[in-house]
C-alpha cells in the first residue's frame, strides 16, 4: 500500500501529510521516526 493511500485511510489530507513529514524528516531523531507514520502522525498545531 502506498504512503498516500495509507494517509487517506487514516483520515489525513495526503498533501498536508507529505509536506509535514518531508519537512520534519531531516531533523527527526531515528528513535522517533515512528511518529511520522500515517497511523501515528498528528497535524502540526
Domain ranges of the chain: 3-28
Task: With residue 40 as reference, give the H or E element that holds it.
Answer: none
Give the pLDDT confidence score for residue 5 in this predicted structure. 95
pLDDT, tens digit, 9 for 90 and up, residues 8-18: 999 999 999 99
Question: Is the entire prediction scored with pTM above 0.95?
Answer: no
**pLDDT beneath 70, residues of the chain:** 1
pLDDT at 6: 93
**Residue-level pLDDT at 1:** 61
Q: What is the DSSP letter of 25?
A: G
In which residue are the cell numbers 500515517 written? 38
Of 1, 9, 27, 5, nearest to 36 by C-alpha is 27
**Cα 20 from Cα 1, distance rounded (Å):** 20
pLDDT of amino acid 44:
82
What pLDDT, on the 0 to 100 scale, is given for residue 29? 96
Amino acid at each position: 500500500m502506498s504512503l498516500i493511500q495509507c494517509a487517506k485511510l487514516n483520515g489525513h489530507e495526503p498533501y498536508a501529510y507529505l509536506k509535514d513529514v518531508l519537512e520534519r524528516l531531516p531533523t527527526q531523531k531515528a528513535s522517533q521516526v515512528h511518529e511520522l507514520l500515517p497511523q501515528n502522525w498528528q497535524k502540526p498545531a
